[in-house]
Amino acid sequence: MVSLIGMNGLEKVTKENTGKDAALMVEDVNQFLLKSLHRGSSTINDGMDLSFCIFEPHTKTLHFTGANHNALIIRKKLANDQREFPIKYENDTTEIGVINGTRRPVGRSFVNIPFENKQFSCISGDRIVLFSDGYSDQIGGEIQKKMKRANMMNLLLASSAETVSNQINYMRDAFHRWKMDIEQVDDVCVMIIEVK
């Protein structure tokens, strides 16, 4: 139910508030969710995680606000590259940087810190990765444990030379090999967008 209300809030906010920064738009979704979940004297104590981006193609500027979510940037290593984000994972040719979101959900929460708008300058060839925690939380493998974030990052690095379409297929196949015949733990979403 919360996801459905959240989707309605996202649709409303994106139609009505073009030009606002990402953090203000996520706060608008938060307020919509809070009002929708309030029922008389009782409230439903629930929320949801969210990744929200605004991309300006003419300047290749990414605005990101995460509610309990981070965004990843996959970039080919460049000589004298001045990074605007911390590098968390890398191999000989590629690095993955993290743009941290705000550590709170939209909806009811014990934490009430403001959502932050993170601005980042992309270059051609960068890949923006948005994902839910369902991928890395999946139980599987030979020892039937969670995949974990580090393994997911290694899969992204290993497939980074592929086209976006092939990289998505690689990630999907790797997930199913990991999961085997074990029941899926959570919703899984991995979105990869390449900057032209």
Residue ranges per structural domain of the chain: 51-194
Question: Computed from CA positions of residues 131, 98, 7, 113, in that sequence, does the dihedral angle turn out positive or negative?
Answer: positive
pLDDT band at 42 (very low <50, low <70, confident <90, very high): low
CB 61 within 8 A of CB 119: yes
- pLDDT tens for residues 106-156? 988 888 899 999 999 999 999 999 999 999 999 999 999 999 999 999 999
d(C-alpha 48, C-alpha 67), whole Å: 8
Q: Provide the token pair at 104.
A: 């709170």
Q: What percent of the chain has pLDDT over 70?
A: 94
Alpha helices of 17-162 — where are they, by DSSP H?
A: 22-37, 149-158
pLDDT higher than threshold 80 for residue 32: yes
Nearest to 37 by CA among 73, 9, 2, 76: 2
Which residues face 73 on adjacent strands? 97, 128
pLDDT band at 41 (very low <50, low <70, confident <90, very high): very low
- CA distances to 55, 58, 59, 136, 192 from 196, in Å: 12, 11, 12, 28, 13
Tell me the whole-structure pTM to 2 decimals.
0.91
Alpha helices of 148-187 — where are they, by DSSP H?
A: 149-158, 164-179
